[in-house]
Structure formats: C-alpha cells, structure tokens
Amino acid sequence: MIQFSAMKGFLNDSIGQMNRSTNKLTLTNNQVVQGQVLKLFPDQKALIQIGQSKLVAQLEVPLNSFDRYWFRVRGSEQQGLQLKIIKQVNHLTNQSVAKDLLTMFQQKTSKENILLTGELAKDHIPFTKEQLLDVIEMLKNTPKRDASAFVEAAKFAIKQEYPLTENVIKSLMQTQSNVSLANQIGTLFHSLQGLDQPSNIVRQLQQSLLNLMQNSDDLLSVKQFELGGENRLTIKDITNEIQALREMLLVVSKEGEGLAKVKDQIDSLIQRLNGQTLLQQDLGPTTQMITQVPLFPLSNSDLTIQWHGKKQENGKIDPSFCRILFYLQLPTLKEMMVDVQIQNRVITISITNNFENIKPIISNHSEGLKELLNEMDYKLSAIHFNTFDTAANQPHHKEQVSITSGFGPYTGVDVKI
C-alpha cells in the first residue's frame, strides 16, 4: 500500500494504519454500524462482531447466524447500549454495500459517494447520519482529483471525533499533498520577497522562514558532528521552529492589505501544519504521531517521522519502549525508510532501500553508531537491510513488530438488539 514514489503514499499509509490501529470499539448514541452474527446462544443471546470487536448481545428480535445487519446505536455504555436493526445486509461486494448504504440515507450513488461509504463500511468506522450527510455535502464541493485524499481525511476525522469542518478536512488533506513541505515553505518565502512595501509582521515572517531554511542546512552540515551535544542542532529544534512559524502564519493571515497574492499559499501552509497536529492519535496506553521536517539542501525534500509508543505519566512517548519510522528521499540513495524499534532501550534498526551498495556504506559506520547510542544509554542489537518491491511498492522481507500486541480487543460491552 505504501507508494514510495511520493511522500503522499507514506502519509496515506500512516493515516490508514491509524484508522485501523486499534481493536477498541467505542459506541455512542445514534451511530450506525455494520455487524455480523457469529453465534447464537441460549436465553436469546448472540455473539455479534463489529469490525475486530465482539459483543455479547441480548436479543429482543430473532436474528440468523452469520447474517450481517446495519444497526443504529441507542443509549450509552454507562447507561446500557441497544442496537436497533435498520436492515439486513444482503450484498457481498463492498461497492454494493456502499450503494445500499447511500440508498438507505436517500443519497446519490455517485462514484465519489460510493468511494466514501465503501471505505467507512470496509474499515467498520461507526458514524452518525449527520456526520455522513455533512461529509457528503463537503465532498460535492471537492475536485474529483482530490476525492481519495478527502475520503482518507474524512475517515480519520470521524474516527477521531474531530469537528467535521472544512478547515479540519482540508488540514488533513494537506498532509497528503504531493508537494513537499520544504517546497511550500520555499515558494512562500520567494513570493513574500516579491511584495511591495511589506508590513513589519510580514518581514518578521520572511526572517522566520529564512532562519528555518538556514537551520535545515545546518542540521545536515558536517559541522554538526564537530559540536558538543548541548550545542548540536536537533530535529526537535526544527520542529519547535515550525510550531513558532505556524503561530506567526496565523497572525499574518489576518492581515488583509497587500497579501492577496500570497493568501492562498499562507492558508495552505497553515492547514498543512495544523494537519500534522491533528495526526496525533492516542490509543489508550499508547500514542502515535506523524511530523515532517523540511530538508532544503536535499532537493527540497522532507524527512517524515512517525512515532508510536507507550505513554509516560507526563503524556510523552516512553523513549525506552517505542517505534520510530523515518522516511526520506535522497539525491543518490533515492527512497529510504528506517524502522527503529526500541524495547527496554535495546534498538533494532531495519533499513529499506534499493541502492546497491547501501549495506557496506551503513556497515562502515555501525561502530560509530553503537558508540553514540551507548553514550545515550541505548544498546544497538542489530541492523537489518531490506529492499523495496518495485512491482508492489512495498518493502521486501520486512519484519513487523507491534508494540501494542499485548493489548487485547475490547469485549466488555453487553447490548440489547
């Protein structure tokens, strides 16, 4: 599923993983869900599967084993849940189910609407009628070329219970842009230079953009490795600068005079930075987030980082138990993904890249990496090398280790049907 030819694919895949990353099912009043009867028990009880979760239901109407139904949720988990049957699902294909769902809510069975409802049904995401009608209305005003990005954004927003506003959806869509963050920032900087008589706040914005681009250069500079630990520029420093830039952009966007030529660029960049904030997801005892760092020296590409790990009491990811994915595109080495898995401060690294001589290049620096990690109280266990499958655009022989595998599905909800 990961499209390694563009950053968009990596972010799409990450959002998709977030949409499917938890087995916990939380149902609220008026939501619509699709469930299947797995087994009938004595005393009018049944085992119902909704997504990956299984619920024991008290039946008040007869159901058939292995049949699927659309249900509407009534009540709450605190007061007791009820699943009201809307209708039986008689179709097997996802497209037919999507059409059936649209007909049920008296909506047009357009190609875009089928894509939306089909994805909601396939990923078993509970939604209310109002949420569905809101996103369908927004989808009408979305260019057809952006329909796929819209659907991914809408799915994530519904699952995260974000307000279904145009700003939220556009912000999530911007994170899937084919244009790199570095390009967006660079283009805005050059556009601001062309403004006549810029205001003080616009000049401050120009300086902030210039500082960010220069610090990005310094981040990759050889001089970095000659500096002491306290003086060394870090990715965290850059991300802090990006957050400060976001605040300044919000201020500048409220200035109407003289900004007409760059207003769309400013708004798009704000939405993109807002989208990165929205991509954080809390999964009970774990958390997951995605961020991008612009790398201007590397052909205006981005370093995309995905964190996934256990939360500490302060809400931050536990550095002793976590997983970090780095994706970037380099001028010579091309696409590269580095999967860093940390268990009790023991690190295993998997490098995925198609450059023929990548292994000896990395091996030559492995001892230095071990020493650096030892100084930080980490132990390097192994470095694995994989290649991208160019036919399927996916990693070959990639080890998959989930740090959340110890958390079982949520099964504690009793419902009446």
Model pLDDT, residue 222: 61
The H-or-E segment that residue 377 falls in is none
122 falls within a domain = yes
| Range list of β-strands (E), 65-124 | 68-76, 80-89
Identify which of 304, 294, 332 has the alpha carbon closest to the alpha carbon of residue 187: 294
pLDDT value of residue 341: 95
Does residue 171 lie in a domain region? yes
325 in a domain, yes or no?
no
Domain-embedded: residue 117: yes
Range of the domain at 110: 7-178
Q: Give the burial class of 194: count Cβ atoms within 10 A of its Cβ; 0-12 exposed, 13-18 middle, 19 or more buried.
A: exposed
How many domains in the chain? 1
CB of 351 within 8 A of CB of 336? Answer: yes
- Is the residue at 54 inside a domain? yes
Q: Count the neighbouring beta carbons within 10 Å of the beta carbon of residue 168.
A: 20
According to the model, what pLDDT value does residue 23 have?
A: 52
Alpha-carbon radius of gyration of the chain: 24
Please report whether residue 153 resides in a domain: yes
* Structural domain includes residue 145: yes
Euclidean distance between CA atoms 24 and 124, whole angstroms: 12
pLDDT tens digit at each of 417 positions of the chain: 333 333 455 555 555 555 555 456 778 889 999 988 898 888 888 888 888 888 888 777 888 888 898 988 888 767 777 888 888 888 778 899 999 999 999 999 999 999 999 999 988 899 999 999 999 999 999 999 999 999 999 999 998 889 999 999 999 999 888 889 999 999 999 999 998 888 899 999 999 999 999 888 877 766 555 555 555 678 888 889 999 999 999 999 988 667 888 999 999 999 999 998 898 777 678 888 888 899 888 778 898 888 888 888 887 889 999 999 999 888 888 889 999 999 999 999 999 999 888 888 888 888 888 998 999 999 999 999 999 875 444 554 443 322 222 323 333 345 655
- Per the domain annotation, does 189 fall within a domain? no
Closest CA to 67 of 41, 48, 95: 48
Contact 113, 104 (CB under 8 A): no
**SS3 assignment, position 402:** coil
Provide the pLDDT for residue 405. Answer: 27
- Which residue bears the tokens 């209310």? 128
Distance CA 41, CA 347 (A): 48
CB-based contact 71:83 (threshold 8 Å): yes
Own/partner pairs, 137-142, CB within 8 angstroms, 24+ separation? 138/164, 138/166, 138/169, 139/112, 139/113, 142/112
Measure the CA–CA gap between 35 and 13, rounded to whole angstroms. 26
- Contact in structure between 112 and 88 (CB atoms under 8 Å): no
Which DSSP state fits 409? P
